[in-house]
Amino acid sequence: MEEKMSWTVADAVDYKEFPADKSRTGGWVTAALILGIEICERLSTIGIAVNLVTYLVGTMHLPSSTSANIVTDFAGTSFLLCLLGGFLADTFLGRYKTIAIFSLIQALGTAALAISVKLPQLRPPHCDMTTAKNNCKQANEFQMGFLYMALYIIALGTGGLKSSVSGFGTDQFDEKDDKEKAQMAYFFNRFFFFISTGTLMAVTVLVYIQDQVDRSWAYAICSISMFIAILVFLSGTKRYRYKKSKGSPIVQIFQVIVAATRKRKMTVPSDVALLYENYPEASRIGHTEQFRFLDKAAIVAEEESERNEPVGSVPNPWKLCSVTRVEEVKMMVKLLPIWATTIIFWTTYAQMMTFSVEQASTMERSIGKFQIPAGSLSVFFVLAILITLAVNDRLIMPVWKKWKGQPGFTNLQRIAIGLVLSTLGMASAALTERKRLSVAKGMRTMSTGPVPISVFFLIPQFFLIGSGEAFIYTGQLDFFITQSPKGMKTMSTGLFLSTLSLGFFVSSFLVSIVKKVTGSKDGQGWLADNINYGRLDYFYGLVSVLCVLNFVAYLVSARWYNKRKLTKPSNGSSAEDKC
């Protein structure tokens, strides 16, 4: 019997809801089936986002600032909807059903986008904006409405499936088995590699098809590949391991807040032993002194202590929460300053998908007879990520271990490096744009033909911010997962992804403000409809200054967080054990 039990996973079941048999379920093969969905998601989302601005400006005849905001709003919404996907997976659907349903939604959205760019009725009449800009007719409300519908169906699908892919992949491994635990680490490495592979295919092959063949064919390829990935994913149904949902962490957080608010007039007892606790000794989190208002959620009111409840019954969590539950919420609150100061990185990242692509579209992009698609400049972004990861893994980490005795940079140090590199990237972008503008203004007519300056001048900004992403993405993911309570890993992952979302929204907000403040009656300003008449270098400079100010705020937040970790809780145990 004991031998048989050793071949089952304690906290997982198979598709028939029997204990999962290790010999028949889970492992690397099933995880690989799940990774196919992630490749197709990146292929679609990035392939659309990096080159969408050229379509909006060149085909839909929208101003550059409006086009940039459409792209960043689309990307921001995609990541923001990860919170919705995570909530549905944790509370109602489970990760398997969430991935299947939202993958189908994304495939349908991409098919709708292919139709949008194919049918002539869904776009304005063709005209050359460089020579007849004033005669170009912008897309009407119906045409834009259909485009928005397709984009936001894709965003909904992306958000839903992205929230569960990595989690369902790790569900296929047993953390209590040393062999499978090692395989899980391999899965995380391959997961990031697959993300980068999908991105690389998107910014090279897919963007080339969009520009040189037919944009509708490119989007159709995305849709068909996702349908195939769904079939591959469904083929593993009988082999997957499924873990039962334990409820949404978001609901648990609100329960603590509501319970504390109900008892806001009560005084927290000086003896923390009088606070309510119903967790087993081994899984309890000791009481800490910060955010004492939340402790009121664990105060046992007089009417609650006098009530004759059956033995083993659980009190209403909206009125009384355990100390451990309160401490879990405190741990999440402690993450917020770091969370807030990492948003600005993704604002700089947004510029690489919008204005930097538009810069590239105005520059000399020929290599012999081959014309580099403007969106394909992002390949240097992806290469920077892969090179940085390789150098960090093979060179920096071994040297750091010999020097400091640590296996590499800490998560907070990696985030700091990413913020510094993004600041340098924006400064480089400002200098490059100044040079591009000086060449453009030397031309006889700035609105005709490419500016005679090589597009490769843009490489430093792509490379610096790409290297920054390699550090900050891994640093953020590590920080939010390892520093959050065990029962709130999905929530903390969603919190991490929300920084990407808010970074894009901040970019949209910043563009709107700059456009309004610097724009003149003729529609020019820093972000002119034709960037040759604007001062994009000033905008990049402004973002650089914001990055510097944000970095200072990050250093203060990181110092505060480290100090808080060393605070001694009232029960005498180290707060380090809680984090």
Same domain for 569 and 512: yes
Same domain for 358 and 238: no
Phi first, then psi: give them for residue 4, nearest 5 degrees. -65, -40
Q: What is the reported pLDDT for 283?
A: 73
Same domain for 307 and 193: no
Q: What is the reported pLDDT for 253?
A: 87
User: How far, in Å, CA of 525 to CA of 538, rounded?
Assistant: 10
Last residue of a domain, one of 217, 245, 273: 245
Any idea what the CATH number is for the domain that residue 361 is in?
Answer: 1.20.1250.20
Same domain for 105 and 28: yes
Listed in sequence order, the DSSP H helices in 202-295 are: 207-208, 215-235, 249-262
**Count of domains forming the chain:** 3
In this structure, the chain runs to a length of 579
Same domain for 341 and 319: no
Look at residue 149 and tell me whether its pLDDT is greater than 90: yes
What is the average pLDDT value for the chain, to the nearest integer?
Answer: 81
Look at residue 574 and tell me whether its pLDDT is greater than 60: no
Q: What is the reported pLDDT for 147?
A: 92
Look at residue 7 and tell me whether its pLDDT is greater than 70: yes
User: How far, in Å, CA of 527 to CA of 533, rounded?
Assistant: 8
Long-range contacts of 309-316 (CB under 8 A, 24+ apart): 314/278, 315/276
Of 546 and 295, the one with more pLDDT: 546
Span 348-352, mean pLDDT? Answer: 87
Same domain for 318 and 171: no
What is the tally of helices (H) and strands (E) in the chain?
19, 6
Which residue has 């899980």 as its token pair? 184
User: How far, in Å, CA of 365 to CA of 358, rounded?
Assistant: 12
Same domain for 296 and 272: yes
Within a 10 A sphere around the Cβ of 549, how many other Cβ atoms? 11
At 421 the three-state DSSP class reads helix
- Cα-Cα-Cα-Cα torsion 565, 570, 571, 575, nearest 10 degrees, comes to 0
Same domain for 338 and 310: no
Same domain for 168 and 109: yes
Last residue of a domain, one of 245, 279, 307: 245
Task: Write the DSSP string, 204-226.
Answer: IIIHHIIIII-HHHHHHHHHHHH
- Comparing CA positions, the residue from 342, 284, 271, 317 lying closest to residue 570 is 271
**Structure confidence at residue 102 as a pLDDT band (50, 70, 90):** very high
Report the interhelical angle of 489-518 vs 249-262 (nearest 10°): 80
Which residue segment(s) compose the domain that 488 sits in?
A: 330-579
Of 160 and 312, the one with more pLDDT: 160
Percentage of the chain exceeding pLDDT 90: 18
Same domain for 166 and 31: yes
Q: What is the reported pLDDT for 30?
A: 86
Residue pLDDT, tens place only, 225-237: 999 999 999 998 8
Of 375 and 454, the one with more pLDDT: 454
**Structure confidence at residue 487 as a pLDDT band (50, 70, 90):** low
Same domain for 258 and 371: no
Which residue has 């992306």 as its token pair? 158
Same domain for 547 and 447: yes
- Helix, strand, coil % in the chain, rounded to nearest 5: 70, 5, 25
Phi first, then psi: give them for residue 313, nearest 5 degrees. -75, 150
Last residue of a domain, one of 329, 350, 368: 329
Look at residue 136 and tell me whether its pLDDT is greater than 50: yes
Give the list of residues 6+ apart from residue 63 with CB closer than 8 angstroms, or none.
57, 523, 529
User: How far, in Å, CA of 345 to CA of 356, rounded?
Assistant: 16
Residue pLDDT, tens place only, 246-272: 667 788 888 899 999 988 888 888 888
Q: What is the reported pLDDT for 544?
A: 95
DSSP bridge pairs for 242: 13
